[in-house]
């Protein structure tokens, strides 16, 4: 695992050790907050984080679609 997004404000999931926080993403509908963390070995971190932010926002938006109506996950691996 080279990158992970963890929802803040919950106790079930903790961030992996030796990972560095690189971005924060908020859900536009419910204000759930996620922190994207990368392993320190990941090069081009800011560029990759921007792509992952877009992916995560799409996942969060889909969770609120009428078809799905599911809760956000606590952990998303990239």
The residue ranges of every structural domain in the chain are: 3-77
Cβ contact 4:76 at 8 Å: yes
Please state the pTM of the whole predicted model: 0.83
pLDDT digits (tens, 9 = 90+) for 24-65: 999 988 989 999 998 877 667 788 889 999 999 999 998 888
- Arithmetic mean of pLDDT, 10-15: 72
């Amino acid at each position: 695992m080279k990158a992970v997004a963890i929802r803040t404000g919950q106790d079930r999931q903790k961030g992996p050790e030796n990972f560095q926080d690189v971005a924060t993403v908020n859900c536009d509908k419910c204000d759930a907050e996620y922190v994207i963390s990368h392993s320190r070995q990941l090069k081009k971190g800011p560029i990759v984080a921007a792509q992952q932010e877009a992916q995560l926002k799409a996942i969060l938006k889909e969770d609120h679609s009428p078809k799905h109506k599911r809760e956000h996950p606590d952990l998303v691996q990239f």
